[in-house]
A = this chain, B = another copy of it.
């Protein structure tokens, strides 16, 4: 019951059990090559003293740190929170701890986090690159000499495998869906066009528009509620207001819905709305919102599994080109796109 200001050590156990430190070490590492009696006696002492092997000492001896680290833009963002949950689950199953650091998509913060993580000798890295073509990042990561898997966004010019969703196809298909509805002036709305995912989605939208010989309208100024409001005010009040809107990420979708409602713009009658990322109330809003749903949990789970697989391999890199896993998305058709008018 005493609080151990000086946690018992392996040799404390050895002394009290009347054996050598080697024996205790064997006991806590599976108990092989130890006689049954000794084993139970040592175990009893371990129990009694509340001994827990000091992980720092093990790391120093060259063992795994038993930690993996997740480097993400934000924890509060539902998207990354779900990824983190999945990753934590896998880590736990592998008897490892999860360290989470956040970058806010700032390359400098990202570097700093990584530098700290090196010092802690974490076993593997799951990173969502702030800049998907940063050579600095690619170089730093390689010098770290530990397995790295990129999540949600690949890292160009690097040998690291990545797990992403099919952004291009999803956006193209979503746009096609709107085109098939007969909409003529489809606006693509979002923010942070420098992000890989957004970039890909814009490409998908553009391709679909081009294939339909329609003119692309892209506005990447919607970064938060206020800017979304300004953007929509301009578009809806213009000479040629859009008759459909494709939003490129979760926040934008919700903000767009809110602004349209505030402006008393009828959806989908006046403008249709198709969003990116499903959300809990999407089906309960009036109208319910049609969205592209990403397999978020799988994204995190698969990346984590790949990371542990990579950590288990003897050879760090076999010079292969970076493997890229692309997960399918789903178009959840509801009412805001003009389908299923019952709910509109």
Contact = CB atoms under 8 A, between A and B. Distances in A.
A3 B142 contact: yes
B50 A143 contact: yes
Interface residues of A, number: 60
Number of identical protomers: 2
Nearest to A84: B75
A74 B67 contact: no
A100 B80 CA distance: 14
Contacts of A60: 54, 56-57, 60
A98 interface: yes
Interface string A118-129: 111100000000
A55 interface: yes
Nearest to A284: B258
A76 interface: yes
Given A88-B102, A97-B101, A99-B97, A5 B145 contact: yes
B65 A75 contact: no
Interface string A195-237: 0000000000000000000000000000000000000000000
A121 B75 contact: no
Interface string A39-55: 00000000000101111
Interface string A70-114: 000011101001101100110010010111111000000000010
A253 B119 CA distance: 44
A265 interface: no
B286 A257 contact: no
Given A75-B88, A254-B281, 16 more contacts: A2-B143, A4-B145, A55-B119, A55-B121, A56-B56, A56-B121, A66-B120, A67-B120, A75-B81, A75-B84, A75-B85, A76-B85, A78-B81, A97-B99, A98-B100, A99-B99
